[in-house]
């Protein structure tokens, strides 16, 4: 069983969704600890402009100027370097009990990548994995970034997918710690010939991919 929270029709503040993730993770753990049946939760959302740092990320990759003081920056529990979230980008936050799937974070990460790859196929785009780091790539351009962690095998944080993102905001950071001479970023709208490239439409297709890859109901 999976509870879906699809908030992609509007923008949700990062901090409120972060609190929701931790609440759902704790709720799942308390149920699990009591011996009751647990369930998965999946949040799909768009955020206003925001930057996040992984727990061990360096500030050297943050290029914000004094004119960017209005842009929030959060350090969170996930792994990885700095990344950007904003309008036109969907983020999927799966709060999954891996005891109900597979106790393997590498498998979980690869499965998340596969949900993106399957979704991109619906828009005529061939996504690939890269040895550079986790996520989904189109050549040397990243279309989907990932940062996850787990406590007691219950996951938190997740994976982003650029749909119609304003890519100029990526110039304010070194995305995932990868210099622009090595890698860039891209979006579905910049690559697809489809006329139905909206966050809401892509979110529905992504939900279908999650259901298939993780055998959700």
**From its phi and psi, is residue 135 left (phi > 0), alpha (psi between -120 and 50) or beta?**
left
Q: How many CB atoms lie within 10 A of CB 75?
A: 13
Q: Which residues pair with 48 in a beta bridge?
A: none
Catalytic-residue membership of 2? no
Contact 82, 174 (CB under 8 A): yes
Q: How many CB atoms lie within 10 A of CB 32?
A: 17
**What is the three-class DSSP state of 2?**
strand
Q: Give the tokens for residue 160.
A: 């982003």
Q: How far is CA 20 from CA 6, 17, 167, 207, in A?
A: 13, 5, 27, 19
**Catalytic option among 2, 28, 176, 186:** 176
* Residues noted as catalytic: 176
């Amino acid at each position: 069983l999976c509870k879906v929270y699809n908030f992609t029709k509007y923008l949700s503040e990062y901090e409120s969704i972060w609190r929701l993730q931790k609440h759902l993770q704790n709720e799942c753990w308390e149920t699990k600890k009591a011996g009751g049946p647990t369930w998965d939760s999946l949040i799909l959302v768009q955020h206003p402009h925001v930057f996040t740092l992984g727990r061990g990320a360096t500030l050297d990759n943050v290029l914000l100027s004094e004119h960017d003081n209005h842009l929030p920056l959060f350090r969170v529990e996930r792994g990885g370097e700095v990344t950007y979230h904003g309008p036109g980008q969907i983020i999927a936050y799966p709060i999954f009990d891996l005891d109900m799937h597979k106790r393997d974070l590498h498998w979980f990460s690869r499965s998340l990548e596969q949900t993106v790859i399957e979704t991109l196929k619906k828009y005529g785009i061939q996504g690939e994995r890269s040895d550079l780091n986790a996520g989904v790539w189109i050549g040397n351009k990243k279309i989907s970034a990932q940062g996850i962690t787990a406590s007691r095998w219950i996951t938190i944080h997740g994976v982003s997918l650029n749909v119609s993102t304003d890519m100029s905001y990526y110039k304010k950071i070194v995305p995932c710690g990868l210099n622009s001479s090595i890698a860039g970023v891209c979006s579905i709208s910049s690559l697809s010939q489809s006329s139905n490239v909206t966050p809401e439409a892509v979110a529905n297709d992504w939900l279908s991919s999650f259901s298939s890859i993780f055998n959700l109901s």
